[in-house]
Amino acid sequence: MPERGQTTEHQIPKAAEPKGPAALRRTGALVTLVLGGLTAVPPLSMDMYLPALPEVTDALHAPAATVQLTLTACLMGMALGQLVVGPMSDKWGRRRPLLIGLLVYILATAICAFAPTAELLIGFRLLQGLAGAAGIVIARAIVRDLYDGVEMARFFSTLMLISGVAPVVAPLIGGQVLRFTDWRGIFVVLTGVGIALTLLVWRRLPETLAPEKRHSGGTVEALRTMRSLLADRVFTGYMIAGGFAFAALFAYISASPFVIQEIYGASPQTFSLLFGVNSVGLIAVGQINGKVLVGRVSLNKALAFGLTTITVAATALLLMTAGVFGEVGLFPVAAGLFVLMSAMGLAMPNTQSLALTRTPHAAGSASALLGTTSFLIGAIASPLVGIAGEDTAVPMAVVQLVCALAAIACFVGLCRPWQHGPTEEADH
């Protein structure tokens, strides 16, 4: 048995050595699957719950805006938790903080299943988000441990394929669970998912950060590291642009149950189907990005096209929901949402890859800043989509358009991609 701080060959995979094809082969498909599962925790926690939002408002006798705060609380928890867990993983390695976070996630999710009031549900959704942050930030940091440059961008697209199954399947599962039980049963299922993932991590996910690469400092050093990352104008530009793109996505996630079910009269099953189709679009474009575009088209060009497409789709949604084209049905609005969601397959993996290529020395802290920014901006956008009540989709479209324009402004004003050399991305 090794002493604390020592490592053995079976504890630290050789992927922690210099990166290359052999190191990638040694990580194995199972590690890829585990990382996909960890990044699937957020969409599982939120999307399985979406078809039940109207039911929760009735069961807990709370207004829609209050129930939407259960989503906001989960997002804020995931944002704040990453600021803590990211630096912890740079100091103590990836496994220990990850397992602690998963155990707390299981406990919080189980309590959500028995919450008697909306206020208590909001509180434990916050705790659920704080704990679930461990899976998000550490999975991204592990990718940075194992990959670099173009190959990292490819892996993020592969990860999107795996984790993207969650938003496709989660609302469908949630809709089917509601056939047999009420909304509380959804949290029971999520508790089971947390237990299964914890066992898989415990048994199969090795440590990827060698002791000599860990930071020995405490909170002061973590804050100093984050300050130096934020001082990097280009890193900050990609971080904020990705955050606003995510906020446009989360405006859809937060508002779509009410828009599709309450305004357009669709059933929970129809909503789940449409949500799944949109998620398939996101996955497909993400795979086109990773398998076709990466290595042939610069990441900055792919990102620019993705952000432009999101802006065009958000503009079309605003015109339709504001009645400029008269009274439109569900199909045109669903088509606009499909285009917007699909373009996220270009925006999200490329902002993460371009930002993380600049931070090989502090992958955990950089990952924490990326995730925290995305979730905080998303948490602010979430309640805004319901500000005008449940009878109009205009606020959703306005929030999406404003976020898309802000993302483009950050990309152009801070990243200034035209200043990068043609091979700079690969060199990083």
Is the sign of the CA dihedral 47, 51, 54, 58 positive or negative?
negative
- When mean pLDDT is compared across 22-31, 68-77, 80-89, 277-286, the lowest value belongs to 22-31
Tokens of 347: 């925006």
User: What's the confidence (pLDDT) of residue 426?
Assistant: 40
pLDDT at residue 413 is higher than 70: yes
Taking the model in full, what pTM does it have?
0.70
- Asked if 407 contacts 344 with a C-beta cutoff of 8 angstroms, the reply is no
User: What's the confidence (pLDDT) of residue 216?
Assistant: 65
C-beta pairs of 94-97 under 8 Å, 24+ apart in sequence: 94/138, 94/141, 94/142, 94/145, 94/207, 94/208, 94/209, 94/364, 95/201, 95/205, 95/206, 95/207, 97/134, 97/138
Residue listed under structure tokens 């089971």: 192
Could you tell me the CA-to-CA distances from 136 to 372, 388, 391 in Å, in that order? 10, 32, 34
Across 388-418, b (16+ Cβ under 10 Å) vs e yields eebebbbbbbbbbbbbbbbbbebbeebbebe
Tokens of 147: 């990959």
User: What's the confidence (pLDDT) of residue 175?
Assistant: 80
User: What's the confidence (pLDDT) of residue 6?
Assistant: 43
User: What's the confidence (pLDDT) of residue 7?
Assistant: 38
Could you tell me the CA-to-CA distances from 220 to 137, 189, 227 in Å, in that order? 20, 40, 11
Could you tell me the CA-to-CA distances from 240 to 156, 230, 372, 396 in Å, in that order? 18, 11, 10, 20
The pLDDT tens digits of the residues spanning 239-275 come to: 999 999 988 988 887 788 778 887 887 887 788 788 8
- Asked if 340 contacts 400 with a C-beta cutoff of 8 angstroms, the reply is yes
The whole-angstrom separation of Cα 344 and Cα 335 is 15
> Which residues is 312 bridged to in the sheet?
none
Name residues whose C-beta falls within 8 Å of residue 141's C-beta, 6 or more positions apart in sequence: 86, 89, 90, 94, 209, 363, 364, 367
User: What's the confidence (pLDDT) of residue 25?
Assistant: 39
The pLDDT tens digits of the residues spanning 278-336 come to: 888 888 898 888 888 877 888 899 999 999 999 999 999 999 988 887 778 888 888 99
Compare 13 and 209 and report the one with higher pLDDT. 209
The pLDDT tens digits of the residues spanning 41-52 come to: 877 887 787 778
Residue listed under structure tokens 């050595």: 17
User: What's the confidence (pLDDT) of residue 13?
Assistant: 37
Compare 406 and 151 and report the one with higher pLDDT. 406
Dihedral through CA 355, CA 358, CA 359, CA 361, nearest 10?
Answer: 170
Q: What is the average pLDDT score of the chain? A: 80
- Asked if 90 contacts 362 with a C-beta cutoff of 8 angstroms, the reply is yes
Q: What is the mean pLDDT of residues 97-124?
A: 92
- Asked if 147 contacts 353 with a C-beta cutoff of 8 angstroms, the reply is no
- When pLDDT is cut at 50, 70 and 90, the band that residue 76 belongs to is confident
pLDDT at residue 425 is higher than 60: no
Phi, psi (degrees; rounded to nearest 5) at 148: -150, 155
Name residues whose C-beta falls within 8 Å of residue 32's C-beta, 6 or more positions apart in sequence: 155, 158, 159, 162
pLDDT at residue 198 is higher than 50: yes
